Amino acid sequence: MTFGRFLSDRLGRIILWLVCFAAAVLFLAATGTQIDVLIILLLILLLVFLMVQATDYLRDRARLRELESILENLDKKYLFTECVPSADNFYKRCLFDLMRRAGQAMISAISDTHAAQRDYREYVESWVHEIKTPITAARLVCRQVEGEPRRKLDSELAQIEAHVERALFYARAESPEHDCVIRPTSLSEIVSQTVERHRTLLMQSGVRIETQGLEQQVYTDKKWAAFILGQLLQNSARYRGDTPVITISAKPLAKQVQLTIQDNGIGIPAHELPRVFDRGFTGSNGRSRGGATGMGLYLCKKMSGFLELDIQLTSEEGVGTCVTLSFPAKENLTRM
């Protein structure tokens, strides 16, 4: 707030006062007061008037700066009304009270939404746990069937499991910090576990997996990393070429370990590449093959961000797709 702005706000009142002063002086002059006395009187009046305006300005400016600094320092800005000291005069107090009540309604609404969201997420999580039992039971029943139907049922069940898992991770992705243990983990362990979990899909797609130099230690959460890798493997298997090969390789790079998942699948058109990590984006491949939800890579990106992984995707149509995950790791001192 500048002094000019302050004065322009009070312009009407200031003019009124000055007119009053002038009228008073004219009146006194007309009734025979000495000119010297009038000048002294006028000077004193003007001085006092100016001082009042100046103190008002300084007080308002200090108050405004205080409020600004409170807002600045607040992490959740919507709690502003709860942190502001009440005002000194009645009118301001009424305004303050109105603001506080509006703020209260907003905080209530936010809190209710958070609670509803949390309830829903908890419901989805418990639902996922419950649905796993009938899926396992179905798998067992499936063993008693022979031949073609068993193979088909197996693959359908594997798909159901993959979808269910994605739903669970989606629900958790909102607050992954509740379920996250960062530990030194071996990459080969993550990869073998993930491949094992998606065995049915990979075998039925006839995918050959090649691994290279996976004996690396990285710092990450095993479960989340395995989920990300699982999504990538599923994509590679789903959008495969004629003789599908997935190459999983790792190489240390300063304070990182880069894990590369390279396939020789159908690839992604260049104009769709910038959008593959968008939520719900299925692209031309997903559209032509069906069954795509547009959630897989979105979740990968989101989780990577949380785990401090860098995820890069390059692809050439008809040649294949290459995803690079950079895991944080200890600097490899032995090599130097």
Nearest CB to other proteins, comparing residues 69 and 212 = 69
Q: Do residues 266 and 231 lie in contact, with contact meaning Cβ atoms separated by under 8 Å?
A: no
Does position 108 bind other proteins by CB under 8 A? yes
In order, the DSSP letters of 258-286 are EEEEEE-S----GGGGGGTTSTT--HHHH
Instruction: Give all strands of the β-sheet with 208-212 in edge-to-edge order.
Output: 208-212, 245-253, 256-263, 320-328, 310-316
We find the least distance from the C-beta atom of residue 111 to other proteins, in angstroms, to be 5
We find the least distance from the C-beta atom of residue 176 to other proteins, in angstroms, to be 21
| Contacts to other proteins from residues 44-73, by CB under 8 A | 66, 69-70, 73
CA distance 169 to 244: 28
Does position 112 bind other proteins by CB under 8 A? yes
Stretch that binds other proteins, among 13-21, 107-115, 152-160, 190-198 (CB under 8 A): 107-115
CA distance 34 to 300: 89
Find the binder of other proteins among 13, 65, 101, 150 (CB under 8 A). Answer: 101
Find the binder of other proteins among 76, 271, 287, 335 (CB under 8 A). Answer: 76
| 296: helix, strand or coil | helix
Does position 111 bind other proteins by CB under 8 A? yes
Which residue in this structure is represented by tokens 């936010």? 110
Nearest CB to other proteins, comparing residues 101 and 183 = 101
We find the least distance from the C-beta atom of residue 125 to other proteins, in angstroms, to be 20
What sign has the CA pseudo-torsion 123, 125, 129, 134? positive
- Provide the b/e sequence for 105-124 (b: ≥16 CB within 10 Å): eeeeeeeeeeeeeeeebeee
Does position 100 bind other proteins by CB under 8 A? yes
What the block records as the tokens of 84 is 């502001």
Nearest CB to other proteins, comparing residues 45 and 84 = 84
Find the binder of other proteins among 56, 68, 82, 119 (CB under 8 A). Answer: 82
CA distance 253 to 328: 10
Find the binder of other proteins among 115, 137, 181, 253 (CB under 8 A). Answer: 115
We find the least distance from the C-beta atom of residue 62 to other proteins, in angstroms, to be 14
Residues engaged in binding other proteins (CB under 8 A): 66, 69-70, 73-76, 79, 82-84, 100-101, 103-104, 107-108, 110-112, 115
